């Protein structure tokens, strides 16, 4: 699914093209990766879900701070008609931004790498927090837990002080405030629809001198979504993302080196449904009504 614009970056899920006039065209594919390996089969509608959710969340957060979105209407994209049809519903025309060199992660619940660190020394990214918490416990308040952006390999969890060293204290503080506010708004809205946002990752950058929210926002790829009905303190609830893919791959005994085993059709279907359900539950809209 390529378009006739200069390709700037091709990631695990997205292609980013230079659209001219300080604009980018970001195209979300249906590709899926697990354990840092891109798998052979796409997940139907995944790219449309990621784009639709980002668009809806940016509308919700519009009064909080600027964002990079210009349009999701294919007619506004500087590409030909066949290309517009190919990327319809999975592409965003956005403003270029000078991106921060940190990932802006917010945790509302104790899970994943944060829980592993907490087990060792009762800290989150080097900061002491309340003792006696269990896996998946709700934190007393949401915590800003930044990380580095690794060119290769994995991002590294860092403290707020380390983040301030990387981007400057004033910028780090502003990024923290925006990220916490965006998480709290999103988590509250999702909870009303039966979904817990355990944690999420924001990408922030400067546009016209102001810090803006960029890239994807509060999607199953950038967040840990749990159904309230599945939530139990002391265990990890299944998430609205590629959980069926990870579970199946783990069951095969695969050594996590490429190539990965071919996904069965039922795993592909189950994963697609989880992505679609996340969008439809939170926004009370059908993905069939979204562009494309």
Cα dist from 2 to 7, 85, 86, whole Å: 9, 12, 9
- At 41 the pLDDT is 92
The alpha-helical segments, DSSP class H, found in 71-168 are 81-87, 112-121, 160-167
For residue 113, name the pLDDT band (cuts at 50, 70, 90). confident
The burial of 45, by beta-carbon neighbours within 10 Å (0-12 exposed, 13-18 middle, 19 or more buried), is given as buried
Among the ranges 36-45, 181-190, 256-265, which has the highest mean pLDDT value?
Answer: 181-190
Mean pLDDT over residues 47-72, rounded? 98
For residue 156, name the pLDDT band (cuts at 50, 70, 90). confident
Beta-bridged to residue 23, according to DSSP, are 20, 95
- At 153 the pLDDT is 60
User: Is the Cβ–Cβ distance between 138 and 114 less than 8 Å?
Assistant: no
pLDDT tens-place string over residues 215-258? 999 999 999 999 999 999 999 998 998 888 988 999 999 999 99
pLDDT tens-place string over residues 67-103? 999 999 999 999 999 999 999 999 999 999 999 999 9
Q: Which domains does the chain have, with CATH numbers?
A: 1-96 (3.30.200.20), 98-230 (3.30.470.20)
Q: Is the pLDDT of residue 152 over 80?
A: no
Q: Is the pLDDT of residue 27 over 90?
A: yes
């Amino acid at each position: 699914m390529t378009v006739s614009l200069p390709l700037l970056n091709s990631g695990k899920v997205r292609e980013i093209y230079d659209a001219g006039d300080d604009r980018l065209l970001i195209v979300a594919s249906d590709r899926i990766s697990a354990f840092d390996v891109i798998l052979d089969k796409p997940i139907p509608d995944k790219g449309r879900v990621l784009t639709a959710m980002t668009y809806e969340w940016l509308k919700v957060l519009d009064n909080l701070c600027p964002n990079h979105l210009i349009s999701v209407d294919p007619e506004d994209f500087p590409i030909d008609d066949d290309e517009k049809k190919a990327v319809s519903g999975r592409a965003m025309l956005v403003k270029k931004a000078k991106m921060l060199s940190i990932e802006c992660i917010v945790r509302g619940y104790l899970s994943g790498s944060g829980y592993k660190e907490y087990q060792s020394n009762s800290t989150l990214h080097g900061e002491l927090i309340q003792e006696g918490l269990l896996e998946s416990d709700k934190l007393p308040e949401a915590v800003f837990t930044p990380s580095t952006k690794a060119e290769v390999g994995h991002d590294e969890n860092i403290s707020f002080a380390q983040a301030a060293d990387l981007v400057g204290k004033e910028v780090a503080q502003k990024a923290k405030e925006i990220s916490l506010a965006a998480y709290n708004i999103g988590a509250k809205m999702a909870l009303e629809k039966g979904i817990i946002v355990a944690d999420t990752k924001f990408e922030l950058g400067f546009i016209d001198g102001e810090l803006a929210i960029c890239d994807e926002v509060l999607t199953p790829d950038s967040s840990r979504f749990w159904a309230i009905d599945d939530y139990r303190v002391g265990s990890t609830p299944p998430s609205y993302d590629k959980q069926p893919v990870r579970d199946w791959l783990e069951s095969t005994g695969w050594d996590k080196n490429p190539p990965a085993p071919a996904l069965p059709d039922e795993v592909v279907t189950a994963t697609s449904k989880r992505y679609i359900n996340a969008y439809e539950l939170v926004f009370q809209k059908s993905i069939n009504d979204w562009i494309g």
